[in-house]
Amino acid sequence: MTLSAEQLELHDRMVTAMEEVQAGILALEPVRGIGVGLRKENGRLTDELAIIIYLRGDPGDLAHRLPTTIRDYPVAVQEADFQPQALATEKRVSAKADTKRYNPLLGGISMAPSRLTDGAGTLGLIVRGNYAHEEAMMLSNYHVMCLKDGLAQPGDEMCQEARSDNTIGWCGNCAELRRWFVGNIPLASKEYGVDAAVAVKTARDALISEVVSIGKLLGTGEPAVGMAVRKRGRTTELTSGRIQSISASILESVGPPHGDVVMSNQITVVGDIGPFSAKGDSGSVYVNPAANKVVGLHWGSTTADGDSVGNHISAVIAALNISIPSAPDDVVRAAEEPGPS
């Protein structure tokens, strides 16, 4: 289901109304976000548009202070405390999680920086950088590749699989951190939140624009409210869902030196059957199966039901100066393979 022309016009008017009041709404505790999208009932998306206020936990005394309409548009209150999803495993590995080492490298698999010994995220996709000597690069989140301690440095070694995903804790070193972006970037007269980073491949073959269980992708597209999407992550592997909102402003706890950042114009997704994502899936990409194109980069979800949130892929591309080609046969061959560290 996608929006009709009439619904698209209504959606845009509702976004304008939301933007007029969102600063005041976001200042209320325990509000964690606000957006325009499809109302959720009994765990599933309806076809009704509403201004959605996302709350952490029960609203308590705030309930009577929240509006039921904004500029005469309906308001829906939804419990959704979105959190970054790099996994702190403490050496415990999910029975379902994909913890394997891959050669060639491709999207949808376990990864983490070498300096992290007790966690994992997801290598979302192998992309191309737009500077010299960036033939193949790992794309994931800032909070996956750089962590949340403010200590990341260009050249930090990346492991696939993450060190905590093997029994001896060694790093299958295959890339070096190159650059990252966290915050909001102006794009087409709006601000878009980005939590993303790239690392240059240093070893193993790599499959450009290909994801485990999804296959070869045909470049990028734009997300839309109601669009069906899939993602392949390290923990929950292949899941499907529908886009609830493409205009959500969500508070993300990024860590020092950034603190809490309001990520503007984020994509929210509700799973078709059960959680769309879980801890360890951060960095996976949202794919529109109808066109087989990337539309978003996942960074977080709710603990209770696995509703998810991610960046518009167009903003990620602009922030990191990368490209995601339509590359059905694009393989980057390995240089000499380094040993484990």
Per-residue pLDDT of 36-63, as tens digits, reads 999 999 999 999 999 999 998 877 778 7
The token pair at 40 is 């959720």
CB 327 within 8 A of CB 208: yes
Give CA separation, 161 vs 138, 146, 170, 189, in Å.
13, 16, 9, 39
Distance CA 301, CA 143 (A): 14
Parallel/antiparallel/unpaired status of strands 215-216 and 237-255: unpaired
Per-residue pLDDT tens digits for 195-233: 999 999 999 999 999 999 999 999 999 999 999 999 999
Domains of the chain: 5-80 (3.30.300), 89-212+324-332 (no CATH), 215-314 (2.40.10.10)
Closest CA to 250 of 338, 309, 324: 309
Give residue for tokens 């009994």. Answer: 42
Place of tokens 């980057």: 332
Is the link from the previous residue into 30 a cis peptide, with omega within 30 of 0? Answer: yes
| Number of Cβ atoms within 10 Å of the Cβ of 148 | 17
pLDDT tens-digit map of 266-323: 999 999 999 999 999 999 999 999 999 999 999 999 988 899 999 999 999 999 999 9
DSSP conformational letter for 337: P
pTM of the predicted protein model: 0.95
